[in-house]
Amino acid sequence: MNIAATEPKLSAPTEHYPVALVPRINIGIFCDNQQTGETAQAASIDRRMARASVTIQLGGVAAAAQVYESEATPNVIVVESHGDRNKIMSELGQLAEVCQPNTKVVVIGHINDVILYRELMKNGVSEYLVAPISAPQLIETIAGLFSDPKSAPLGRIVAFVGSKGGVGSSTIAHNIGWAISQRLNIETVITDLDLSFGTASLNFNQDGGGGIFEALTQPDRVDGTLIERLMTKLGNKLSLLNGPGGIDKEFNIEAQSVETVLNVVRHSAPMIVVDVPNLWAPWVKHTLLNADDIIITATPELPSLRNAKNLVDMLKAGRPHDRQPRLILNQVGVPKRPEIPAAEFGKALGLSPSAIIPHDPQSFGLAQGNGQMVFEVAPKSKSAEIMFDLAETIAGTQKPVKTSRFALPGMLQRLPMMKKK
């Protein structure tokens, strides 16, 4: 390990970049104070920890050593200590006596000590965090224990959903996906989950291949090779995974099937734009709750406001540690139509609109009729300008804000776990 590289590694908040879901594992967390216990409790109910079985107790390292004298150790043990370097190492020595070889240990300490860190790594501890920690930080740490450091970074899943039919969510999703890939040069996959009435193939002037349907009906076979075969290439940086676009079949979609497909797709590109249909079903809710970012498109009308409010309330409750959904007000300024002012609309939702797109039937109509994007048929229009600004915001080209976390660059190379003596 490079001794010169002794400064703490700073990690961005989880909301700014994708974090893999924690797998189906058992986790034992032993806190040394109430604050860490509350943080652990908040992390345990996060969407990314839904598969894991988590137990939380007070008592720190000593309590963990006592519990596992008579029980098998779980996949991960998280222990907290307020002690100094010598006390922590002594406590962990007792835990090592009862710890199984394949168990990973995360230590939460209250001293930022490089020598302690090196000793912990030497003894096989998987990670050392300096308190106080946040729930997203704990989730990211546990998920990182089971990720392959050699694999490519996960792509970000950005879900677009309309507050009601006809608000233009799909059209905006397709234009944003196009802009991110063609203007920002970021490889992007547009996934159309509306199997019966999806418009992605029409908007891009493609024959409906129905690739997403084939993937959803056989999730056990889904891998990178199959997804690559099912996608339609629309250029060097843009691919389309769309539905069959017909009503001759009845679709019974399972939430886990959608999750499986999207988890494979997110390994194929940095940006995954998901066009979520305007319907309510368990798989739609599951997809929205587990997306990295959510864009709600609404028009400035009362029914759209009501539905958007319901969506926002549900998402805020189900995603307490994620970025709030973004709001797009579309088709603003329709002649003779009474409209809710943007400020009042946003205030009712507790969100400021990320974009307000004017009523522009000429640009959008021409693009739709030609099977092109607004950027292609009306590149200097106000609508194109606003959507490009939104594309830049969604792509996150700015550097994320940093938060404190103690770790060194060598942490990606996980050392074997401490074994029974």
Residue 189: per-residue pLDDT: 95
What whole-number percentage of the chain has pLDDT above 70? 89
- Contact (CB, 8 A) for 233 and 239: yes
Q: Of 277, 273, 305, which is closest to residue 159 (Cα–Cα)?
A: 273
What is the tens place of the pLDDT at every residue in 310-319?
999 999 999 9
Residue 152 has pLDDT above 80, yes or no: no
Kind and range of the H or E run holding 234: none
Q: Which domains does the chain have, with CATH numbers?
A: 21-146 (3.40.50.2300), 156-395 (3.40.50.300)
- Contact (CB, 8 A) for 232 and 240: yes
Residue 406 has pLDDT above 70, yes or no: no
SS (H, E, C) 309-347: HHHHHHHHHHCCCCCCCEEEEEEECCCCCCCCCHHHHHH
What is the Cβ-side half-sphere exposure of residue 232, based on CA atoms within 13 angstroms?
20
302 versus 407: the higher-pLDDT residue is: 302
pLDDT tier for residue 403 given thresholds of 50, 70 and 90: very low
Instruction: Say if residue 392 is exposed, middle or buried (CB neighbours under 10 Å; 0-12, 13-18, 19+).
Output: middle
Q: Which residues pair with 106 in a beta bridge?
A: 78, 127
Min mean pLDDT across 115-119, 150-154, 207-211, 351-355 is at 207-211
Residue 215: per-residue pLDDT: 86
Per-position DSSP letters for 165-197, written without gaps between them: TTS-HHHHHHHHHHHHHHTS---EEEEE--TTT
pLDDT tier for residue 397 given thresholds of 50, 70 and 90: low
Return the structure tokens found at 112. Answer: 């930022």
What is the tens place of the pLDDT at every residue in 341-392?
999 999 999 999 999 999 999 999 999 999 999 999 999 999 999 999 999 9
User: What gap in Å lies between CA 65 and CA 98, rounded to an integer?
Assistant: 7
pLDDT tier for residue 412 given thresholds of 50, 70 and 90: very low
Neighbours of 254 (CB within 10 A): 14
Min mean pLDDT across 27-36, 89-98, 345-354, 391-400 is at 391-400
Residue 401 has pLDDT above 60, yes or no: no
Residue 210: per-residue pLDDT: 66
Mean pLDDT across 135-144: 93
Averaged confidence pLDDT in the chain: 87
User: What gap in Å lies between CA 359 and CA 316, rounded to an integer?
Assistant: 29
pLDDT tier for residue 405 given thresholds of 50, 70 and 90: very low
What whole-number percentage of the chain has pLDDT above 90? 69
What is the tens place of the pLDDT at every residue in 188-229?
999 999 988 889 989 999 876 667 888 888 888 888 888 988
- Contact (CB, 8 A) for 295 and 161: yes
Residue 398: per-residue pLDDT: 46
Note the Cα 219 to chain centre separation in Å. Answer: 20
Exposure string of 332-355, with b = 16+ CB inside 10 Å and e = fewer, is beeeeeebbeeeebbeebebebbb
Instruction: Say if residue 357 is exposed, middle or buried (CB neighbours under 10 Å; 0-12, 13-18, 19+).
Output: buried
What is the tens place of the pLDDT at every residue in 234-279?
988 999 998 777 777 777 889 999 999 999 999 889 999 999 999 9
Residue 154: per-residue pLDDT: 83
Residue 411: per-residue pLDDT: 36
User: What gap in Å lies between CA 413 and CA 339, rounded to an integer?
Assistant: 56
Residue 143: per-residue pLDDT: 92
Task: Provide the H-helix boundaries in 194-336.
Answer: 200-203, 211-216, 224-230, 255-265, 282-289, 302-318
Mean pLDDT across 64-89: 93
